[in-house]
Amino acid sequence: MDNEEMTREIAKAAQAFAEPIDFERLISDGLLIKKGRSYYVPDLRALPDNISKRIKVATPTKDGLRVTFHKESKSLKKIAESLKGYLE
């Protein structure tokens, strides 16, 4: 992996953590199921890449795979903005 390729990967990861997750859209698309205050994933591989990077904990339960997510980060938003040219 060369430096430019690594910079692109860092830019993608920073962008993923810079944006808030649209939980309502993921639920309506059937990618997440909300039960109470918890979110469950029927198919982990079906999640978009930028969302799957944000998974903090995935715990198997009797109801399925319960997931928690990292919150968006202001500092990573600044990094993503500075590396925006590598995302195209």
Q: What is the pLDDT of residues 43-62, one digit of tens each?
A: 999 999 999 999 999 999 98
CA angle 82, 24, 22 (to 5 degrees): 5
Burial code (b: 16+ CB inside 10 Å, e: under 16) for 22-36 equals: eeeebeeeebbbeee
pLDDT in tens, 5-36: 888 888 888 888 988 999 999 999 999 999 99
pTM: 0.79
Q: How far apart are CA 25 and CA 8, in angstroms?
A: 27
Q: Residue 55: exposed, middle, or buried by beta-carbon count in 10 A (0-12, 13-18, 19+)?
A: middle
Q: Look up tokens 């309506």; give the residue.
A: 28
